[in-house]
Structure 1
Amino acid sequence: MGDELQSELESIPGRPNRADVIRLLAEDLSGSELNTLLLEVFRARTAASSAADLLRRYRENRFVQPAAADPIALRRLELALLSIAVRHGAAPVQLSPVAPLGTASVIAEVDQNNVVSALRGTEVVSDATNLLALHACELIRARGASRRKEERLRLCTTHRHVRAQFWGNAPGMLPHFHLFGQVTAGRDTGSYGFEKPAFWEHIALYRAIFRERFDADIEVILSARGGYSDAEGLLAWIVAEGEARGAGGIRLTIGAAKPDHRYYAGLQFTIKTTIAGKELTIGDGGFVDWTQRLLGNKKERLLISAIGLERLMS
C-alpha cells in the first residue's frame, strides 16, 4: 500500500462514521489509491479464509451457481444466431466479461447497485449493448474524417450477463443469463434517414432468426418514448417504411406511449413470438442517446436491441 494512502487512512481519528468512509473512498482517494486499498482488503479477507469457507460461499452465493441451460445446445444456438446475423450485415464481436466501471450507470442511467462492480476500474457486464456502444464509439473515433455521412456501423454479440437485482423466485429472473444483442450506430441524415433503415434491419434479422430456427413469425409492438421532438411522427415514419418494404409475416402493433420514459429515446419496440404453442415476450430495443453523449455530437444516432436465449431453449 502506498505511503501517501497509508498516511491518509491513519489520519482518520477513532472509528470513522459511514459518511466519512464513503467520502474518503469515493472522493479523496485517486482511482489507483482506491484500487490498491481494495486489493489489500480482499487479499486480507481471502488469506483468512479456509477451504470450507470457499465451499460455503459457492453454496450460498447465487451469482456463482451454474445455469440450468444445456451448454452444448446453447453454444449451437449462439453459433446459428451469429451466422444469421453475419448474413444480414452485422459484425460479431467477442466482448470482454467486464466493462469499464460506470458503463451501465453513466450512459444507461441504471442504478450502480444493480450491477456487480469489480476492482481495477471495472464492472461485470450487465448489458452487452452498453459495451457494444462503447466499442462502436471507439471505431467511429478511429475512422475520424474518413467516415461517410450515411455509413451505419452494425455490431452484434452473444454474451452472458450478470445482474445484481434480487427477484426472489420470480420465474425467468436469473442472476446470470445469455442474450443475443445488436447495435447500429450512425449519423442523423434528416427525415429519419438513419432511424428507418436501422430499425428495419434489426427487425429483418429477428424475423430471419425465428423463421429459420423455430419456424415462427414475430410480433413487434411499437411505443413512442420521449427524447425526440416528434416521437409520434417517428413512429409513423417507421410504420410507413415497413409498409413500403413489404414486411410480410411481421405483425406490427402500437403500444402505449410513455413520454417520460428515460431509457429509450423516441421509440421502443418489444418482440413477441409463439413457439410450440407458447407465447413469449422475448426481447426489446429502441433508440438511445449514448453515442451522442460519448462522442459529444448531437448528430450521432444509436439503435440497440436484444433477445433472451435461454427461454428459447425451454
Structure 2
Amino acid sequence: MSAVDHPPRVPETALDTTSRLAARIAERVSGLPGPPRIDELLARTLRGNEFTTLLLHGLRQRARQRTFGDVREQALRSPMVQASAVDARRMHALDGVLLECARDYEAVELAPVEPLGNAACVGIDPNNVLGTARFAEVASDPSMGLALHAACVRRREPSRGSEALRWCASQRVLRLQPFDRPGYSPHFRLFALATSARSSQAAGDDATERRSLLEHLTVWAELAHRLPGAGFDVAGARVVLSDTRLVAAYLRARSPGVDVERLVRGVKVHRPESAREALREAGVSEARVDGDWCDDPVVRDLPEPDRERARALRDDVAKPLQARFPQLGIGYDLTRLQGLNYYRGPFLQIYFRHENGMDLPMGDGGAVSWMQELLSDWRQRFTISGIGSELLVKLFSSKEKR
C-alpha cells in the first residue's frame, strides 16, 4: 500500500475528552432499567447533549479509521459530494441578473446549515434532508433560511412592526429524495424571494399575500425579459395562479367524499406525473384555465366565498401584472396538487419557454404560515417564491455561452 492510502495518524490519548464523555454516558445508560433498545435510546432516552456527544464520538472514531482511498471511493460513487456540472461563470452571470431584478429586496448570504427540524416543521420528511451530528441540518431550501432570518429580524427589531420586509438569496442546497431525471443532482442552486409583513387582520383576508405575490411576479417577469440579453435562450414566460382553498373546494365538489390529504400524499415531487395519476384515481379531470377563470364554469359553480377569492386573485395579481407585462402568459389551475399542503392560500408556478418551443417549469411560490408559528402572531404574513437557477443555466444557456 502507498503512503497515500495509509497517512500518519493523529495519536489518540486515554484522556481524550470526547471519548471520556462518551464512556460516561454509556455507563449511565447501562444502569437504566431495561436497558432501552438502541433505537429508543437514540430517538428518546438520551438527552440532547448526550445524543450529540455519542454521535460525535462515533463519527470521530470512524473518520480516524478512513484513508484517502476510502474518501476517494465515496467521492466517486456519491453524487452528494461531487461538484456541480454547471459552469460557475454562467451561474455567476445569472445571479447578477437575478440580483438586479430583485433590487428592491435585501440580499442575504444564508448559512449552509439550519437548526435540526426546520424542514420537518414545514412538512418535509427528515429523510429528505441531511442531518448533522450537532443538531443541525444542511439547507434544503433558501425560503426556510429566509424565514428564520425574518423571524430573528422581527425579534431583534420590534420597531419595524408592520413594515413589509423583503429579502432575496441565492443558495446551494441539498435534498436527498430520489432523482432519476438526467441533469438532476442532489445539490443545486436556487434563488428565492421572501416578504414578511403584518396584516391588519388576523385571518380571512389575503390582501397582504396578494400584494407580495404581485411584487414577486414582477421580479420573475422582468427576469424573463432580461435573460435573452444575458445569453439565455428564453423566448417568454408563463405564470399559473391558484389558491389552496379553491383547489380543495373544487376537488370536493367534483369528487364528494374525497380525502384531499391522502390525495396530496400520493404526489411525489420527483415524479411530476404522479399528480395526474392521483387525480385520475379520484375521478377528477384537470381544470386549467387560460382565460379569465371567473367566467369559467369551474369557478362559477363554487360557493360565493370561493368565487370572491378567485376574483381577488384575478384583480389584485393577474390584471396589474398583465398590464405591465403584456407578453406574459397568465393562467389558472384548480387541480394543482403539488404544494397543496405546503402553501396556505394563493400560490403559483412559473414556466419559461425555450426558443425551441418547450415550456419548462422553473419555480413556484405562495403564501405560507411559517411566520405565524415562528412568532406566535397570527397577523404575520410570509410569502415566498423561487426558481431553480442552476437548472435554468443548464437548460437555457445559449450554445456559444456554455
User: How does the TM-score come out when normalised to structure 2?
Assistant: 0.71
TM-aligned CA distance change 1:232 to 1:60, over 3 Å: farther
More strand as a share of residues: 1
Whether contact under 8 Å (1:226, 1:262) holds in the other structure is no
2:382 is aligned, of 294, 302, 313, to: 302
Structure 2 equivalent of residue 118 of structure 1:
132
Structure 2: which amino acid aligns with 1:264? Y
| 1:133 Cα offset (Å) | 0.4
| 1:267 Cα offset (Å) | 1.9
Whether contact under 8 Å (1:179, 1:307) holds in the other structure is yes
| 1:302 Cα offset (Å) | 0.8
Structure 2: which amino acid aligns with 1:5? I
2:50 is aligned, of 20, 25, 33, to: 33
Structure 1 equivalent of residue 242 of structure 2:
223
Please state if 1:183 is matched with 2:194.
yes
TM-aligned CA distance change 1:296 to 1:231, over 3 Å: farther
1:197 is aligned, of 211, 214, 219, to: 211
RMSD: 2.4
Q: In the aligned structure 2, how far is the partner of 1:148 from the partner of 1:213?
A: 36
User: How does the TM-score come out when normalised to structure 1?
Assistant: 0.89
Q: In the aligned structure 1, how far is the partner of 2:245 from the partner of 2:315?
A: 20
> What fraction of aligned residue pairs are identical, expressed as a percent?
30
Q: Which runs of 5+ in 2 are unaligned?
A: 1-19, 229-233, 250-304, 396-402
Q: After superposition, where does 1:1-314 map in structure 2 within 5 Å?
A: 1-2=20-21, 4-11=24-31, 20-86=37-103, 89-106=104-121, 108-144=122-158, 146-149=159-162, 151-167=163-179, 169-190=180-201, 191-214=205-228, 216-226=235-245, 233-241=308-316, 242-244=318-320, 246-247=323-324, 248-257=326-335, 261-277=340-356, 278-313=358-393, 314=395
| 3-state DSSP of counterpart to 1:183 | strand
Map Cα deviations across residues 196-253 of structure 1 (whole Å, 9 max, x no partner): 2101000000011110123643211112203999565334212102324624332211
Question: Higher mean Cα deviation, 246-255 or 128-137?
Answer: 246-255
TM-aligned CA distance change 1:11 to 1:55, over 3 Å: farther
TM-aligned CA distance change 1:231 to 1:189, over 3 Å: farther
TM-aligned CA distance change 1:5 to 1:253, over 3 Å: same
| 1:122 Cα offset (Å) | 0.8
Map Cα deviations across residues 166-221 of structure 1 (whole Å, 9 max, x no partner): 22x32343211111111111112355331221010000000111101236432111
Question: Higher mean Cα deviation, 112-121 or 48-57?
Answer: 48-57
Structure 2: which amino acid aligns with 1:237? A
TM-aligned CA distance change 1:244 to 1:170, over 3 Å: closer
Whether contact under 8 Å (1:114, 1:164) holds in the other structure is yes
Structure 2: which amino acid aligns with 1:298? W
Whether contact under 8 Å (1:207, 1:250) holds in the other structure is yes
Map Cα deviations across residues 137-184 of structure 1 (whole Å, 9 max, x no partner): 11111222x2343x21111111111001122x3234321111111111
Q: Which runs of 5+ in 1 are unaligned?
A: none
| 1:126 Cα offset (Å) | 0.5
Whether contact under 8 Å (1:224, 1:232) holds in the other structure is no
Q: In the aligned structure 2, how far is the partner of 1:67 from the partner of 1:306?
A: 20
Structure 2: which amino acid aligns with 1:80? V
Whether contact under 8 Å (1:182, 1:305) holds in the other structure is yes
Q: In the aligned structure 1, how far is the partner of 2:106 from the partner of 2:27?
A: 50
| 1:136 Cα offset (Å) | 0.4
Question: Higher mean Cα deviation, 235-244 or 124-133?
Answer: 235-244
Q: In the aligned structure 2, how far is the partner of 1:276 from the partner of 1:200?
A: 26
TM-aligned CA distance change 1:50 to 1:295, over 3 Å: same
Whether contact under 8 Å (1:222, 1:235) holds in the other structure is no
Q: In the aligned structure 2, how far is the partner of 1:301 from the partner of 1:54?
A: 45
Q: In the aligned structure 2, how far is the partner of 1:113 from the partner of 1:103?
A: 13
Whether contact under 8 Å (1:231, 1:267) holds in the other structure is no
TM-aligned CA distance change 1:22 to 1:233, over 3 Å: farther
| Larger RCO, structures 1/2 (Cα 8 Å, 6+ apart) | 2
Whether contact under 8 Å (1:287, 1:304) holds in the other structure is yes
Q: In the aligned structure 2, how far is the partner of 1:6 from the partner of 1:41?
A: 12
